[in-house]
Structure 1
C-alpha cells in the first residue's frame, strides 16, 4: 500500500504542474441541460451565446461548457429536437471564474411551424433547475450536497451522515438508517460496492472517507431493480469529485481543541514516528522466523530459542506521559480541466491529499457488568491520511472516468482500568495497549456512452477494492489485590487478561456491471433499462493469542514470584527474560484462521414510464444468485456454504398532485445476507465489552418486504416539506444472541422468529422570508427532520430452561424510537459571513441485547449542539472558519432496562457504562488559488 500511496502522490504532482492555473483572464459558463418533467439529462442539446459564434453541445451526461468568455453579462439560447427552445438572460461571467447554470427545458406541445421560445433570467433558471432535480428523483431518497457539507463542522462522512433525515451514527462511524443497524445497510463509493471494514461485525466504517472529498451523498430508502438488493434500511451512495468546472488549487489548515484532552496529561505505550503518518513501523509485528503455533503448543520452543523468540517481541510496557497536542488538519486539493481539439473535448483531474491527527482522552469511563465495577481512563492517538486521484475524459457522447481513493487510519489506544471484580472479591489494575490500523484502497473505471439517434445509453463500471485490518500486538496485563494486599500481576498463566493478540484481515472485492437504457414508445414516455453485474469477494483472516508466562517454580530462582509485584514498566524486564523466567505460550484454536469467498451475480430489467402528465411508474425485477464458501483451519468443523437464488420485484409510483407536490408509493423485496464474520466460528474476547464474540455457521439470509408512502412539497428551490411512512417485515432477521449464564459472556448470532419495523419521517427546509420580506429573513434558512421508528423482535422459542430469557420481545438492536435533526443558517455581507447552528438528538436505543441473566442495555438520549461561523477574505478566495461540535458535552449513558423500567442485576445499580468525551472547537483556514 505504500507503493500505492507513492503512485498517487506522483499523480498529484503531475496534476499540479498541468495547465496554467493562475493566468485566466476569461471566464466560462457550464452546467447541465435536463428534462423539466423527469430530470433526465439531454444529450446533444445545443447551447449558444446569443450575438456570438460561441456554442457548445451537451455530452453524454447532459453537461456543457462554454469557455473563453470576456467578463460581462450574456444571454444564451438552448435548442433540442422535440423540446421548446429557451433563452436565459442576465448571466454574469467574471474573469477567471465559472458561472454554474443548470437549465431545464420542456417538451414541445405541438409541431407548430412557429417556434415558441421560453424566456427566463439566470436567477429564475438556477432556481427552477434545482427544484426539478429535487422533485423528479426515481425512488424515495434523502441526501446531502458538498455545499451543505462545507457549512457544517463535519470532518468525515460519518459526521455528515447524521445530518440526513432518518439517519443516525453508532460508535461515531457506523450508519443506522430508519432504526436499522449497520448490518442492514450497504454502501457504495463511485458506483462500486464497499466491503465491511470490521473484523468482528458487518459494517463499513464511514469515518474513513474525509468529508472534503465528497461531491454528494444519496441514501436510497426504497429499492429499484438497478440497485443491489442486499439492504433493508438504506443504500448509501457516496460520489467523489471528477471533472471540475474550472482550474483551482485549494489549501486548508486547521487546529482543534478538546475540553477534556488538549494540553492535558496524555498517557500511551510505545510510540514510533511513523504512527504520525498512520503506518506502524513494524516493531510491533511478529518477525518472519517467529515460532509457529504448533511449535509453541507442542513445547518445542525452549532454552535459548525461547529467550530469542521473546526478545523478538516488543516488550516495552512502559507508560509514557506527554501533553495532548491540539488536533491537526491539513488538506490540499487540485482541480484541473482542459479543452482538447476543435470539438472541445474535456479532460479533468481532481487530486487531493488529507491529513488529520488527534489525541483524545476519556478520563473516567464507568463500566459495570457481570460482577465488574470498573473505572477506565482511555487515551486514543489517531492519525488519518488520505489521497484521492480522479481523472475523467469527456468526448462527444462519451465519458470515461478513472477514480482512485486511498485512506488509512491508525488508532492507538491505551487503557488504564481500576475497580472491583465482585465474583473474586479482588481489586484490579488493568493495562491494555491496543493498536489498530485500517486501510482502504478503491479504484474504479467507468464509461458512459450515448448510442444511435434515440440516444440510448450504455454505462459500465469495473471496480476493485481492498480492505486491510491489522491488529499487531494488542497487549493486556492485569494486577489483582486480594483483601487489601499487594497488587500481583496475573502472568502465571495465559488467559484473556494476560495475552498478546495478533490478527490480520485482508479482503479484496472485484466488481463489474453494465447498464443499458433505451427510450421506447410506450405510454407517453418510457425508458427500458436492463443490466448485469457481478461481485466477487475474497477474504483471509488469521489470529494468534500469545503471551509470556512466568515460571515461579524455577529452582535456580527461588524468589521468582517476587517479579509478580513489579510495576508494569519492569514486569517483563530484560533481566527476567534473559534468565529464562518467562516461557512463551500460545492459546491455539484452529478456528482463529479462516478463508472465505462469495460470488454474487445479478441481472435486472425495469421500465420507467410516464403515463399521462402526472403519473410515473418505475417497476421491474432483479434476480440475484449468491454463493458463499467459508472454511476455517479446523478441519473438524464443517465448511459453510450458502447457495441462494432470490427474485426481488419492486415498484415505485409517483403522482404529481401539483407542479410543486408529489405523492409517492413503493413496494420492494430485499434481502440481508450473513457476513463472513457472523458465519465464522472464530471466538474473540473484546476487553472493552468484557465479552467474547463468536460466529454462528448455521445462519440463514434475511428476507424483507418493504412498503413506503411519501408526500413531498417543494415551495421553491432548495426548500422542502415531506411526510413519509414505511413498514418492513423480516423473515429470519439476523440478531445478536447473548449467552450470559456463565462467568464469561458470549455474543453470537441467530435468526429471530419474527421481526418488523415501521415508522414515519417529517422533513422541512424553508427560508424565513414568510416572517417578513426583509433581507435578514430572506438570508436565513431553517430546517428540521424528525423520524419515529417502532420495531419488535421475537426471540427464538425456548428449547430448554437454560434458554429462558428475560425478554420475550424487544426492539431491534441499534433502533432509535425517534431521531431529531434541526438547524438554522444565515448569511450576511453579500454571503461573506455565514452562521450555522445544528442540533441532533436520538431516542433511547438498545446497545447490547439482553440474555438470561441481564436485561438489554439501552443508550440514553443525548442533546448534541454544533455550530460554525465562516468569513470569506481576500476577494472571497479565502475563508476562516470557527466551529464547535458537541458543545453541550452531555454524558454518554448506558443503563440496564427491562420492560421500560430500570433493571438492577447485581446490586450495583443499573449503570452499564457512563462517560464523557468533551467538546471540540476548531479554527481553520482555506484558500483557493
Structure 2
C-alpha cells in the first residue's frame, strides 16, 4: 500500500505541474533528426525557419522543437556537420497545435566541394524519415505504433500483440512468438526486464498494461548483443509515453455489451464494495493471529480456539444473484510540455489513470474425457485499475526520464459444475468454486541519456525496480456427491484433500535492475559505431500457500451427520454448526508449499555496427551472461538449496543487411540465446488446478536450454508505411524445457523435463499496401490491406524415463503450425471517418502434452473477426468508436488427438474442454482538450 500511496502522490504532483495554461494562439514544430542510412539520431543538428532568426538544436535523443510559431506555411532548413543540408517546404503550422516532422539527413560525399542543399516538401520529408526507420533496424523485428493501436478495438497490450506478424495470444494474455510458448519469450517495459506475473507458470500477463498508455511495441525476433539473451521466440519491448508534443487533457468513457453475458443472470460469491476498485477489503484473508500450520497439524488447539479460528474465516458461502452489467472503461490522461530558461530546456509530463470493469459468463463449458462428463458455468467479475506517471527533462545534450506504472487486476470467478465422475465408482457431482486472483505490478524506471565529446558519443543508463504481487486470498472448493439416482447429494467434508481445501497463497517478488550503455563512433570501414554495455538484474521471490479446510466430526452421536451433509452450500458451514464444535480445523502441510528464491544475472557485451559500403551493414558482437539461482523450501532435512543453477553463457550474434535497392533489404543472422527455468518450474510445490483437473509441480533438477538460431529475410518497402517481406528461420534447442505428463493414476500430475534436443523452423510473410494500384481513385488511396502469415514446424522427443507414452515425439507445447492475421483499414472525409476490419486464425496447437493413458490435447483452429468504426467530431477533438470483437463467436475446442484424429480411450471421452466466450460490442467516446 505504501508504494500505491507514493505513486498516487507522484501522480497528483505531476498533475499540478501540468496544470499550467494551454496556449492556443501559436503553434509549434516538433520532431527528430536521424541518419538516413542507420536511423541513428543526430545530436546537435540545427533546425531553422528560412528567412528568420528562429532556430533550435536537436538534443541527446535527436529531438527538436520550434515553439511559439505563428500559424502559416514555412520552409525549414536543417544543417549538420558532415551531412547535406536539407530544405523542406510547405510545413504548415496551425494555432494551438504541434506539427510533427521527423527528418532524415544524408551524409555528405567526400567529393563535395561546396554545400549541397537537398530540397523536399513536408510530405516527402516525412515519407523519407519513415522509410529510414523501417529499413534500418539492426535486427529482424516487427512492431506496432500508438497510431495503429488507436485504430483497432484493442484495450490491452495482449490484444495489440496478436496483430504483430508471427505472434499469437494464449488465454487472452500470454504471448506466443513464432509458435513458441510464452516460456520462451521475454519482455521489457521502458528498458528494464519484466518478471513472470504468474504463480504457476513462466509467463507475463500482458493484459496488465492498458493499450492507451503505449507509445510503441517492438518484438525483436533476432538477437543483438545489447538485448538480454534469455529468449528464443521474441523479445517484447514496450515503451510508454513520456514527453508529449503538446499540452493536452484527454478523457475517455466506454461501455460494452457481450452477447452471452450482459443483462443475463449473474451468480457470484461474497462481494465487497472495494472489489469494484480492484482491492479485496481484507475479509477474505487469514487474520494475523490465525493458528500456525504446526498448531493445526499437531492438534494443539482447544475446542474454543478451533471455533474462534473457524469463525475468523469468511464463511459466507451464499450464492448471490444479480444481473450482469455492461462492461465499462474510463481513462483520463493529461500531458504537458514546458520550456524552461534561456536555453529552452524541456520538461514533459504524462499522467494517466485507467479503469475497466466487466462481468462475463461462460454458460456451458463442457469437459468430457477420462471418467469425467462435466458441464460448467463460470461467472467472472473483473476489475482493472492503472496509473501512469512519467516525467522527462531534456537539457542541452542530456535527458533524464522517470517512468512509473502501477496496474492491478482483480479477477473473482465463481464456478458451478455438474456431471458424473466414475473414477472411483459412478457418482454425480455438484461442485462449487470461488476463486479470487489479485495481481499487481508496480514498476519505476529512472533513465539518463547523455551526449559526450565532439564525436557525439552517447552514454545511456537505466535503474529499475519492479514489484509483482499475486494473491489467492481464499480459493474455496466444495463438492456434493450422489452415489445413485434418486439418492441425496452429500457434501464431501468428511476429510480434507487439495480437491476441496481452501487455498490461501501469496507471492511477492522484487526485481532490481540496472544497466549502462556506451556508444562511440569509430573510424572503421565506411562508418562504424562501437557499443559497450553492462547490466545486472536481481530477483527475490517469496511464496507461501496454505491448504486449510473444515472437517466434520462423523463420530458425534448428538447429531444426524447424514442430514447435516445434505445441507445446501449456503448453510453447510453456517454459524449454528460451527459454534457447536462439530467441525474441526485441518490443514494439508508440506514443506514444499513455501519457498524462497533469488537469482542474479550479470551481463556484459561488446558490439560493432559497421557500414562496409553503401549497401552492406553488419552488426556483430558477443554477449556474456553470468546467472546464479538458488531456491529453498522449508524442508529441515535438506541443507542445500532444493534447486541451484550457476551458468556462464557466451552468446555471439551477427546480423547482416544488404541493401538491394533504395527500397529493399536482404537480411541474414545467426545468434545464440538461452532459456532458463523459471522459479515455479523448479519449485517442488504441488498445486491442484480444479479447472485442469490436474496437479502442477516443479522439477528442481531442470537445466537451462541453449538455442542456436538462424534467420533469412527479404523485405521490400513500396512506399512509406508499406511493406512486403519474406522470412525463414531455424532454431535448435539443447535441453529444451517442456512439460511432462504423468497420467498413470486417476489424478494427473504435470511436471517438467529437459529433452535432449528439439527444433523448430518456419516461414513468415508480411504485406501492408494501399490499394491505389487497383484504381487511382480517392477510395483506394485511403484503403490499406495487410496480412501476415507464419508457417511453423517443430519437434521434441518425450523423455525416456521408463514410462511408455503414447507419443514418442510431438510438437512443442503452444506451437502453432500456422498463424494468419489480415485486415483492411479505410479512412474518409479527411481522416475523420476510419474503418478497420481484422481477422485472425491459428492452426491447432498443443495445449496439454500427452502421457501414458492420454494423447496430447490440441486447441482447435477458430476464426476471429474484429472490427471498429471511428468518427471524429467537435472539430476533430472528439472521437466516437464502435467496436466489435470476436463477431463470429466460434467455439473454443480442446480435443485429445493422436495421429491427427480424436483419441478416445475405452470408456472415456475426448473433449478436454469446449466453450464460447460470446461476441462483444463496445461504444466509446474520447475527447482531447
TM-score higher than 0.5 here?
yes
Partner of 1:405: 405
Partner of 1:431: 432
Measured in 2, the distance between the counterparts of 1:153 and 1:19 equals 31
Shift of 1:200: 0.4
Shift of 1:795: 1.1
- Secondary structure in structure 2 of the residue aligned to 1:61: coil
Partner of 2:661: 658
Partner of 2:875: 875
Q: TM-score, normalised by structure 1?
A: 0.99
Shift of 1:906: 4.0
Shift of 1:20: 3.2
Measured in 1, the distance between the counterparts of 2:820 and 2:709 equals 23
Task: Check if 1:577 corresponds to 2:559.
Answer: no
For residues 769-817 of structure 1, what are the alpha-carbon distances to aligned partners after superposition, in whole Å with 9 as ceiling and x for unaligned?
A: 00011000000000000000000001122x43xx010000100000000
Shift of 1:743: 1.0
- Secondary structure in structure 1 of the residue aligned to 2:336: strand
Shift of 1:70: 0.6
Shift of 1:198: 0.3
Q: What is the aligned counterpart of 1:488 among 462, 487, 490?
A: 490
Task: Check if 1:505 corresponds to 2:507.
Answer: yes
For residues 601-648 of structure 1, what are the alpha-carbon distances to aligned partners after superposition, in whole Å with 9 as ceiling and x for unaligned?
A: 000000000001100000000000000010001123451211000000
* Pairs aligned (count): 925
- Secondary structure in structure 2 of the residue aligned to 1:138: coil
Q: How does 1:367-378 map to 2 (within 5 A)?
A: 367-378=367-378
For residues 870-912 of structure 1, what are the alpha-carbon distances to aligned partners after superposition, in whole Å with 9 as ceiling and x for unaligned?
A: 0000000000000000000000001110111211024344211
Q: What is the aligned counterpart of 2:550 among 533, 548, 562?
A: 548
Q: How does 1:529-678 map to 2 (within 5 A)?
A: 529-555=531-557, 557-637=558-638, 638-639=640-641, 640-678=643-681
Compared CA separation, residues 925 and 6, structure 1 to 2 (3 A): farther
Q: How does 1:201-600 map to 2 (within 5 A)?
A: 201-423=201-423, 424-484=425-485, 485-555=487-557, 557-600=558-601
Shift of 1:7: 3.6
Measured in 2, the distance between the counterparts of 1:762 and 1:3 equals 45
- Secondary structure in structure 1 of the residue aligned to 2:592: helix
Partner of 1:707: 710
Shift of 1:597: 0.3
Q: What is the aligned counterpart of 2:685 among 682, 685, 702?
A: 682
Q: TM-score, normalised by structure 2?
A: 0.99
Shift of 1:216: 0.2
- Secondary structure in structure 1 of the residue aligned to 2:198: coil
Measured in 2, the distance between the counterparts of 1:822 and 1:907 equals 42
Asked whether the equivalents of residues 5 and 406 of structure 1 are also in contact (C-alpha less than 8 Å), the reply is no
Task: Check if 1:745 corresponds to 2:753.
Answer: no
Partner of 1:773: 776
Shift of 1:11: 2.4
CA RMSD of aligned residues (A): 1.0
For residues 389-439 of structure 1, what are the alpha-carbon distances to aligned partners after superposition, in whole Å with 9 as ceiling and x for unaligned?
A: 000000011000000000000000000000000222000000000001000
Asked whether the equivalents of residues 866 and 886 of structure 1 are also in contact (C-alpha less than 8 Å), the reply is yes
Measured in 2, the distance between the counterparts of 1:699 and 1:313 equals 38
Shift of 1:113: 4.0
| Displacement over 6 Å in runs of 4+ | none
For residues 706-727 of structure 1, what are the alpha-carbon distances to aligned partners after superposition, in whole Å with 9 as ceiling and x for unaligned?
A: 0000000000000000000000
Unaligned segments of structure 2, at least 5 residues: none
Measured in 2, the distance between the counterparts of 1:17 and 1:809 equals 61
For residues 118-177 of structure 1, what are the alpha-carbon distances to aligned partners after superposition, in whole Å with 9 as ceiling and x for unaligned?
A: 000001111111111001000000010000000000010000000000000011100000
Measured in 2, the distance between the counterparts of 1:574 and 1:261 equals 34
Asked whether the equivalents of residues 253 and 925 of structure 2 are also in contact (C-alpha less than 8 Å), the reply is yes
Measured in 2, the distance between the counterparts of 1:584 and 1:131 equals 68
- Secondary structure in structure 2 of the residue aligned to 1:826: strand
Measured in 1, the distance between the counterparts of 2:914 and 2:700 equals 34
Measured in 1, the distance between the counterparts of 2:200 and 2:115 equals 65
Measured in 2, the distance between the counterparts of 1:16 and 1:904 equals 65
Asked whether the equivalents of residues 14 and 349 of structure 2 are also in contact (C-alpha less than 8 Å), the reply is no
Compared CA separation, residues 785 and 881, structure 1 to 2 (3 A): same
Measured in 2, the distance between the counterparts of 1:23 and 1:343 equals 20
Asked whether the equivalents of residues 371 and 907 of structure 2 are also in contact (C-alpha less than 8 Å), the reply is no
Partner of 2:125: 125
Partner of 2:80: 80
- Secondary structure in structure 1 of the residue aligned to 2:147: helix
- Secondary structure in structure 2 of the residue aligned to 1:130: helix
Shift of 1:554: 1.3
Larger deviation, residues 289-298 vs 491-500: 491-500
- Secondary structure in structure 1 of the residue aligned to 2:128: helix
- Secondary structure in structure 1 of the residue aligned to 2:779: helix
Task: Check if 1:754 corresponds to 2:761.
Answer: no
Shift of 1:869: 0.2
Shift of 1:17: 5.5
Asked whether the equivalents of residues 889 and 916 of structure 1 are also in contact (C-alpha less than 8 Å), the reply is yes
Q: How does 1:26-65 map to 2 (within 5 A)?
A: 26-65=26-65
Asked whether the equivalents of residues 349 and 392 of structure 1 are also in contact (C-alpha less than 8 Å), the reply is yes
For residues 907-927 of structure 1, what are the alpha-carbon distances to aligned partners after superposition, in whole Å with 9 as ceiling and x for unaligned?
A: 344211100000000000000
Asked whether the equivalents of residues 293 and 588 of structure 1 are also in contact (C-alpha less than 8 Å), the reply is yes
Partner of 1:893: 893
Asked whether the equivalents of residues 139 and 224 of structure 2 are also in contact (C-alpha less than 8 Å), the reply is yes
Shift of 1:223: 0.5
Shift of 1:754: 1.4
Measured in 2, the distance between the counterparts of 1:814 and 1:9 equals 42
Measured in 2, the distance between the counterparts of 1:5 and 1:833 equals 41
Asked whether the equivalents of residues 214 and 240 of structure 1 are also in contact (C-alpha less than 8 Å), the reply is yes
Measured in 2, the distance between the counterparts of 1:609 and 1:878 equals 47
- Secondary structure in structure 1 of the residue aligned to 2:707: strand
Measured in 1, the distance between the counterparts of 2:889 and 2:7 equals 42
Q: What is the aligned counterpart of 2:730 among 727, 731, 734?
A: 727
- Secondary structure in structure 1 of the residue aligned to 2:363: strand
Shift of 1:828: 0.5
Measured in 1, the distance between the counterparts of 2:627 and 2:22 equals 53
For residues 6-37 of structure 1, what are the alpha-carbon distances to aligned partners after superposition, in whole Å with 9 as ceiling and x for unaligned?
A: 64355246425535343321100000011111
Asked whether the equivalents of residues 605 and 621 of structure 2 are also in contact (C-alpha less than 8 Å), the reply is yes
Measured in 1, the distance between the counterparts of 2:7 and 2:176 equals 35
